[in-house]
Structure 1
Amino acid sequence: MPANSWPEDNSYQELDPLNSLLSDLSADEELVLDTNPVSVASRFQGRRRKAALVLTIVWSSTIALHLVSWSFIFILGLTTVLGFHALVVIFTKPRHYPKEIQGDLPSVSVLVAAKNEEAVITKLVNNLCQLEYPNGEYEVWIIDDNSTDSTPELLAALEQKYDKLKVLRRSAEATGGKSGALNQVLPLTKGEIIAVFDADAQVTSDLLLQVIPIFQREKVGAVQVRKAIANAKENFWTKGQMAEMALDTWFQQQRTALGGIGELRGNGQFVRRKALESFGGWNEETITDDLDLTIRLHLQKWDIECVFFPAVQEEGVTRAIALWHQRNRWAEGGYQRYLDYWNLILKNRMGTRKSWDLLMFLLIMYILPTAAVPDLLMAIARHRPPILSPITGLSVSMSMIGMFTGLRRIRQDQKFQISTYFLLLLQTLRGNLYMLHWLVVMSSTTARMSFRPKRLKWVKTVHTGNGH
């Protein structure tokens, strides 16, 4: 689930389809991403054409399955493959991470990109500037992206209070949204590990001491901590987001334990500087910097670990319309990465295990919701049950199991009674009802990207300071 961004519109033209295709196919064979600005820019063009092609294939294939006699056998076989993968995911034991670090602790730079965050900025800085870390080998950078409220004045006062706090103020002409802000401050930082948080983040004082030891394994390029919803008790939407984050972290832990893909979620992400600089920092041509960074790290053979503890608290959105806008951005950014890096993924740059894991995730999270629309239409027209029902049932079952297990894992230090299990079951049922919004979001987003001209747009999630 990507981090928040803020308003900024950058329009750019689509390249000629043939030139765009040739650009994709001629990507440098030795490097995951060519650092030449022209080559990099061309990779992120032609998304609408690619999305339209995928949409056409998914719709036509789904309709065709309703018209051929062997469709049931095909769906049964696909469900069996997905089911076997699901069983492996469920019964895999999560990894255990080192609690202490051998030798000297690496330096850490904590970064927060902020725009008009007067409601939360003071509490954020007080929290981040009082973390436990030997010899104080960490720094805190707040990038004020031309705020028009009282954020600059509050930061100026906080600079006088904390020696480790540094503030970079961006001009009104600065571009790139959150990615641009992080790229601008990166050369000024000195940390071997770069930690990124949202402006509404709150963490425990021992956060760095728990996370940094995980980087002792040389292949670890990044670590993502669980996102906890600070105002989870507020209403149906925030309670659903709390369950959703438990499900997401459980899936990430199980996937990484299998040698699959761990994913970054923007808030509470730690990245090794060496890995980040190997491909030039954050991508300013995407609306979800964390999901794009996830793919590029794995293409460079880095691993991403995900942990339940410690967690970073953040505000959940409280209204349906705000949730709709936020999740549409997440869905579009997640889909963009497949369209941008498809040829490198097909070349198995990540390795077989990660490529297979990514394929399973793509089928469940993107292809199935997209195919659900033509499947339902054909089912109504032919007066038959939807042909994808077995796969949908498997997906819902996995969601139930993962959400229940994730919620239980969060309560690992509590004594369990019958009433506790009943409460977890209730939270799981409510959470899966809430998760139905993803079906609508994913199917509508993949269709919209195929027809509407692309405009890069970042939309800020408003933080009020409630819930902490």
Structure 2
Amino acid sequence: MPANSWPENDYYDELDPLNSLLSDQSADGEESVVEADSMPLPSRFQGRRRKAALVLSVVWSGTIALHLASWGSIFILGLTTLLGFHALVIVFARPRRYHKEIQGDLPSVSILVAAKNEDAVIGKLVKNLCNLEYPDGKYEVWIIDDNSTDDTPQVLAELAQEYDQLNVFRRSPQAIGGKSGALNQVLPLTTGEIVAVFDADAQVVPDLLLQVAPLFQREKVGAVQVRKAIANAKENFWTKGQMAEMALDTWFQQQRIAIGGVGELRGNGQFVRRTALESCGGWNEETITDDLDMTFRLHLDNWDIECTFYPAVQEEGVTNAIALWHQRNRWAEGGYQRYLDYWDLILKNRMGVRKTWDLLMFMLTMYILPTAAIPDLLMAVARHRLPILGPITSLSVSMSVVGMFAGLKRIRQDKEFKIPTVFVLLLQTLRGTLYMLHWLVVMSSTTARISFRPKRLKWVKTVHSGKGE
């Protein structure tokens, strides 16, 4: 599929090549800047600010109305009961079991990495990926150098002489589309039945492909996401929190998938069936989080996404509050943005009843509730009463605690589960729960910001030092 081309289907109108300038992201998916209102977007992606402002108005006015209405508390208790039932179903669901041996020939795999100024980590990554345990000729590695200005090109040139399966593609300074554009540009040159995407700081186990390939034996599986593990988790409070966060995320994903809900892609360590990728039009160059957008489009096209704890992909966690703030703001905006882009297809039940229901419950707890927390707190102070959303908030926090403990325990499944281990897990869960409170601030500020400010994307590149263990 040519870069910057899009299918004429329910997702997009025909895309003018100039529109790609709006998503001039860095190669690792971080943000770059353009005035978003300066050029037209395809119709599906137009009016994001207006839609966000409408949702914000409804959430704020609805929360205030619940405080003023006599039946407000009853409504919240009923909604909490509904969410509680969904939560119980998730908690007691049994994760799917996968066949560990593949029937027939192994599928061919194309591994793609979009990199910009990654000389600190790119050498280690290439050596890791080019030494995987997989039959000769069945996998290839493509490193897309997105016009790096450091020593990345020189490092890659030397490595290309050493590894036959390594292919290096250097983009021109005029290339557009950021990470999505880089992946779309190289996709036609690849041959794998499965397309894997990694970040430049990734590190994986040698038998990664042998463990992931069997998950594609079920024909409806369009993609697989492996757990993201934090390589420098022991460094400080922030990296330890990210380690617990990734355990929580993977546990929730597996449980949601087990009840027929939505599995999600997380960028680094994602594997996509080529036919599924092509059926939904490749990577979207009009979003700041290509993985989250791809998640929705795969499910809307009736593909399933699987998620697994093992194997995992190691990546560097950000090490300070400012870097975390920038990164999580991008994640929050991209995750919220996709609901604004595809809301009509979701409500048309294109994903099916179970996935649509699960998606709406997830949106309510992860996006709507944090947004509603601000007017709820203001009304509680003004009226000298407890926040009316307290029951839902308590349920959400409780689910986070349960999921984090269960996720951390699942990571340690190969170790003896003794009393000291329980105390360690409880400590990690407590610390992780405290860390996760940042999401309330991030999400409430993000929904307000994108409702009023014109879209401004700016370079906020995650720096990879290569010091993760």
Per-residue CA deviation, residues 354-413 of structure 1 (Å, 9 max, x unaligned), is: 000000000000000000000000000000000000000000000000000000000001
Find the residue that maps to 1:195 and give its secondary structure: strand
- Give distance in 2, aligned partners of 1:463 and 1:407: 25
Provide closer, same or farther for how the CA distance between residues 404 and 4 of structure 1 changes in structure 2, counting only shifts above 3 A. farther
Residue type of the alignment partner of 1:430: R
Runs of 4+ in 1 over 4 A off after TM superposition: none
Contact 1:14 1:46 in 2 (8 A): no
Residues 1:417 and 2:441 are matched in the alignment: no
Structure 2 alignment gaps of length 5 or more: 1-26
Find the residue that maps to 2:296 and give its secondary structure: helix
- Give distance in 1, aligned partners of 2:460 and 2:339: 22
Per-residue CA deviation, residues 280-339 of structure 1 (Å, 9 max, x unaligned), is: 200000000000000000000000000000000000000100000000000000011000
Q: Give the deviation of 1:416 after TM superposition.
A: 1.4
- Give distance in 1, aligned partners of 2:386 and 2:34: 44
- Give distance in 1, aligned partners of 2:258 and 2:398: 21
> For residue 326 of structure 1, what is the aligned residue in structure 2?
327
> For residue 4 of structure 2, what is the aligned residue in structure 1?
none
Provide closer, same or farther for how the CA distance between residues 4 and 397 of structure 1 changes in structure 2, counting only shifts above 3 A. farther
Per-residue CA deviation, residues 178-216 of structure 1 (Å, 9 max, x unaligned), is: 101100110100001000000000000000000011000
Contact 1:226 1:312 in 2 (8 A): yes
Per-residue CA deviation, residues 85-105 of structure 1 (Å, 9 max, x unaligned), is: 000000000001110111111
Residues 1:41 and 2:42 are matched in the alignment: yes
Contact 1:331 1:445 in 2 (8 A): yes
Residues 1:231 and 2:232 are matched in the alignment: yes
- Give distance in 1, aligned partners of 2:377 and 2:101: 53
Q: RMSD of aligned C-alpha atoms?
A: 1.2
> For residue 341 of structure 1, what is the aligned residue in structure 2?
342
> For residue 437 of structure 2, what is the aligned residue in structure 1?
436
Contact 2:227 2:309 in 1 (8 A): yes
> For residue 6 of structure 2, what is the aligned residue in structure 1?
none
Aligned residues: 443
Residues 1:13 and 2:14 are matched in the alignment: no
Per-residue CA deviation, residues 132-151 of structure 1 (Å, 9 max, x unaligned), is: 11234000000000000000
Matches within 5 A, 1:116-127: 116-127=117-128
Residue type of the alignment partner of 2:211: Q
Contact 1:110 1:195 in 2 (8 A): yes
Provide closer, same or farther for how the CA distance between residues 152 and 278 of structure 1 changes in structure 2, counting only shifts above 3 A. same
Find the residue that maps to 2:463 and give its secondary structure: coil
Residue type of the alignment partner of 1:453: P
Q: Give the deviation of 1:14 after TM superposition.
A: 7.3
TM-score, normalised with respect to structure 2 = 0.93
Residue type of the alignment partner of 1:172: P
TM-score, normalised with respect to structure 1 = 0.93
Q: Give the deviation of 1:45 after TM superposition.
A: 1.3
Q: Give the deviation of 1:175 after TM superposition.
A: 1.1
- Give distance in 2, aligned partners of 1:302 and 1:229: 29
> For residue 218 of structure 1, what is the aligned residue in structure 2?
219
Find the residue that maps to 1:296 and give its secondary structure: helix
- Give distance in 2, aligned partners of 1:14 and 1:438: 31
- Give distance in 2, aligned partners of 1:80 and 1:226: 31
Residue type of the alignment partner of 2:467: N
Q: Give the deviation of 1:457 after TM superposition.
A: 4.2
Contact 2:267 2:290 in 1 (8 A): yes
Residue type of the alignment partner of 1:58: V
Matches within 5 A, 1:53-72: 53-72=54-73
Contact 2:31 2:457 in 1 (8 A): no
Residues 1:165 and 2:166 are matched in the alignment: yes
> For residue 5 of structure 2, what is the aligned residue in structure 1?
none
Q: Give the deviation of 1:7 after TM superposition.
A: 5.1
Contact 2:28 2:114 in 1 (8 A): no
Find the residue that maps to 1:84 and give its secondary structure: helix
- Give distance in 2, aligned partners of 1:234 and 1:12: 38
Contact 1:194 1:273 in 2 (8 A): yes
Q: Give me the identity figure in percent.
A: 80
Contact 1:79 1:390 in 2 (8 A): yes
Find the residue that maps to 2:314 and give its secondary structure: strand
- Give distance in 2, aligned partners of 1:289 and 1:361: 19
> For residue 463 of structure 1, what is the aligned residue in structure 2?
464
Matches within 5 A, 1:312-461: 312-457=313-458, 459-461=460-462
Contact 2:48 2:340 in 1 (8 A): yes
Contact 1:139 1:165 in 2 (8 A): yes
> For residue 188 of structure 1, what is the aligned residue in structure 2?
189
Provide closer, same or farther for how the CA distance between residues 458 and 287 of structure 1 changes in structure 2, counting only shifts above 3 A. farther
Contact 1:287 1:458 in 2 (8 A): no
Q: Give the deviation of 1:8 after TM superposition.
A: 3.0
Structure 1 alignment gaps of length 5 or more: 16-37
Residue type of the alignment partner of 2:341: D
Find the residue that maps to 1:283 and give its secondary structure: coil
Residue type of the alignment partner of 2:431: R
Contact 1:9 1:458 in 2 (8 A): yes
Contact 1:286 1:456 in 2 (8 A): no
Find the residue that maps to 1:323 and give its secondary structure: helix
Find the residue that maps to 1:111 and give its secondary structure: strand
- Give distance in 2, aligned partners of 1:4 and 1:315: 13
Q: Give the deviation of 1:106 after TM superposition.
A: 1.0
Contact 1:196 1:269 in 2 (8 A): yes
